[in-house]
Amino acid sequence: MSKSLYLPEGYASALTLRETQHAIKYIKDLFQQTLSFALTLDRVTAPLIVRAGSGINDDLNGVERKVDFSIKEINDNAEVVQSLAKWKRMALYRYGYNPGEGIYTDMNAIRRDDDTDNLHSIFVDQWDWEKVITRDQRNVEFLEDTVRSIVKAIVYTSRKVDLRYPQLGVKLCDTPYFVTTQELEDRYPDKTPKEREDLIAREHGTVFIRQIGGKLQSGIRHDGRAPDYDDWALNGDLFFWNEVLGRAIEISSMGIRVDADSLRSQLAELGAEDRMQYEFHQKVADGTLPLTIGGGIGQSRLCMLLLGKAHIGEVQCSVWPSEMVETCKKNGITLL
């Protein structure tokens, strides 16, 4: 069982199992409509699997094992996606989207090497979104304006949920605080990156931490980030303070995507120049693919946050260690 499992003292769900299922549907229906309107996004169909070796699958930190399998009628293997970061940008190009227009989709993934705890599952469900932008919009101001729009959509959804289920009483800060990873290291030099996230989220409620992926002045990275989708100077993670767990909960990872220059420099920094063999990378480098901004918003994590749940397994069906299931049950946490 995960050593990081947290059991809130005296925890009890404010909703029954049946009410929880109704509330999950309500949140998902309402939020995706609100997000679509806020960012001008069309819903599209997206893949669960892609060809192995295509360069389209997200490599995350480059060490996670993908779930793959052979296909009877194709002399090749397929991989379950780990995210759709690259696929979305290719789709915007193929479908002919223009600046100011974008797409979102339901993304389901299996990350077999993730540790399981209150916030992490091997099953990942997100709203993945991507939007075409202009060269002039590749700046911090545009990134932060987009974050504010997402936060407004989340807070609006939370308020509507509280009207339907007043026993929840979840209150979220609707004004995000912006800070860089280097500013956090300077402020809390003796803390780990995760401890810094908790401290700043406790202080401000809603926080967007910018510039994730590159090395800090200490020589460490705040967190890992693939070198071929986010521009590390123009990305970040969105956190909300979670009273139930007494810690920050990351709801979204997002950013302005790499252009030709940032792609090459970030690949070089990680010694991953061999990825330039793939169609996606070549199309970024030669300017064929549009400039974009995009990210993922965790569906189960958002439901967990808005419903005051203590474990992500209370809002999604997944596979958990048997000991975790029993420990949670004894402490008032019923996993679906």
State yes or no: pLDDT of 286 exceeds 80. Answer: yes
CB 232 within 8 Å of CB 267: no
Indicate if 82 belongs to the active site: no
Catalytic, out of 198, 237, 259, 314: 237
More confidently predicted of 209 and 111: 209
**Catalytic-role residue among 32, 58, 231, 299:** 58
pLDDT tier, 82 (very low <50, low <70, confident <90, very high otherwise): confident
Separation of alpha carbons 43 and 61, rounded Å:
28
pLDDT at 35: 96
What does the pLDDT look like over 237-257, one tens digit per residue? Answer: 999 999 999 999 999 999 999
Give yes or no for residue 63 having a pLDDT over 70.
Answer: no
Is 253 labeled as catalytic in the residue annotation?
yes
Distance (Å, whole) CA 297 – CA 129: 8
Of 158, 211, 253, 300, which one is the catalytic site residue? 253
* pLDDT reading at 141 higher than 90: yes
- HEC string for 192-232: CHHHHHHHHHHHHCEEEEECCCCECCCCCECCCCCCCCEEE
Respond yes or no: is residue 250 known to be catalytic: yes
- The alpha carbon dihedral of 183, 186, 192, 196 has a sign of negative
pTM of the predicted model as reported, rounded to 2 decimal places: 0.91
Catalytic hit among 89, 111, 196, 225: 111
The pLDDT of residue 157: 97
Neighbouring residues of 266: CB distance < 8 A, sequence distance ≥ 6 = 213, 214, 227, 228, 231, 232, 258
Active site residue 162: no
158 classed as catalytic: no
* Residue 79 a catalytic site member: no
Options 64, 243, 250, 279, the catalytic residue = 250
- The residue extents of the domains of the chain are 17-45+83-328
Q: Is the pLDDT of residue 113 over 80?
A: no
- CB of 201 closer than 8 Å to CB of 241: yes
Report d(CA 271, CA 165) in Å as an integer. Answer: 51
How do strand 247-257 and strand 292-298 relate by DSSP bridges? antiparallel
Residue 2 has pLDDT above 60, yes or no: no
Q: At residue 269, does pLDDT exceed 60?
A: yes
Instruction: Spell out the CATH class of 17-45+83-328.
Output: alpha beta
The CA radius of gyration of the chain, in Å to the nearest whole number, is 20
Q: What pLDDT, on the 0 to 100 scale, is given for residue 194? A: 94
Identify the pLDDT of residue 72: 77
Average pLDDT of the residues of the chain: 91
Residue 60 has pLDDT above 90, yes or no: no
What share of the chain in percent tops pLDDT 70? 96
The pLDDT assigned to 111 comes to 81
Name the catalytic one among 13, 83, 121, 126. Answer: 126
pLDDT-derived band at 112 (thresholds 50, 70, 90) equals confident
Checking if the pLDDT of 181 tops 80, the result is yes
